[in-house]
Structure 1
Amino acid sequence: MNFASVRIITDDVDRLVNFYEKVFGVSAERPAPVFAELVMPSCTLAIGHSQTVPLFGEGSAVAADNHSVIIEFRVHDVDAEYERLQPFIEEWVKEPTTMPWGNRAILFRDPDGNLVNLFEPVTEEAIKRFSGRD
């Protein structure tokens, strides 16, 4: 089994696509106006309009109602990302911080309120834990 993607359901696909294109520095693929994918080497972030929810089962997802998932991405330099993202991140949850498990991280919310974590392993143990994961 291979992990394919994480999909965010939203009422404003264009707004989230624009946001994540800025965060990731990649252009989204748009096979339909109600759906987009940001494809990166390690994962794909899919964004679907709330109009697509009935295709999966009525009430199976609710736009902008996430309170339990953190979307995480490993980066090369958290502090540089923090500086780069300052102009357009509206809600910072955590400024650059080294976590107890050895990752340096920043956390912020996307326009729908989803929590996003950019991190880099910085301690010897954390670097070892992530070695071989691409």
Structure 2
Amino acid sequence: MSPRFDAIGLVVSDMAASVAFYRRLGFAFPEGAEKLPHAEAELPGGLRLMLDVEETVKSFHPGWQPPSGTASRASLALRCDSPAEVDAVYEELVDAGHHGELKPWDAVWGQRYAVVHDPDGNGVDLFAPLPAQ
């Protein structure tokens, strides 16, 4: 037997804000998840995105402290259907009050690329392949 990748876990300071943010990106959290101390959304291929409020983590790891500083220590990368969708999703999230870290741009590696932060400062990379020249 060997370990297998099963889930991505994020510690969040405000479950309702985080669930709302990730729902905007298409993650299917169940109704009422915004009121729970732990919430999960199933991902393609059987993976899960798990969110835990800080108090939950402190309940089993009393010495845990939130990361300090402004740099994101984790990021999720979400593929969009088109470069235009990268722009639209970025603008929707920024207009909703989320921090836009990198405005959409055409990256040298052939993608339309942008980064927005979730409510806890984790990076969410939005990308789509650029059309062939």
> By the TM > 0.5 criterion, same fold?
yes
Which residue in 2 is equivalent to 1:109?
117
Q: Are the structure 2 counterparts of residues 85 and 97 from structure 1 closer, same or farther at C-alpha, using a change threshold of 3 Å?
A: closer
Q: Are the structure 2 counterparts of residues 95 and 33 from structure 1 closer, same or farther at C-alpha, using a change threshold of 3 Å?
A: same
Report the secondary structure of 2:49's partner residue: strand
- The percent of aligned pairs where both chains have the same amino acid is 22
Shift of 1:16: 0.4
Confirm or deny: 8 A CA contact 2:116 2:125 kept in the other structure.
Answer: yes
CA distance in 2, matches of 1:123, 1:60: 45
Q: Which runs of 5+ in 2 are unaligned?
A: none
Q: Are the structure 2 counterparts of residues 69 and 105 from structure 1 closer, same or farther at C-alpha, using a change threshold of 3 Å?
A: same
CA distance in 1, matches of 2:38, 2:65: 15
Q: TM-score, normalised by structure 2?
A: 0.72
Confirm or deny: 8 A CA contact 2:82 2:129 kept in the other structure.
Answer: no
Which residue in 1 is equivalent to 2:10?
8
Deviating above 4 A after TM superposition, structure 1's stretches of 4 or more consecutive aligned residues are 63-66
Which residue in 2 is equivalent to 1:40?
43
Q: Are the structure 2 counterparts of residues 79 and 59 from structure 1 closer, same or farther at C-alpha, using a change threshold of 3 Å?
A: farther
Q: Which runs of 5+ in 1 are unaligned?
A: 125-134
Shift of 1:63: 6.7
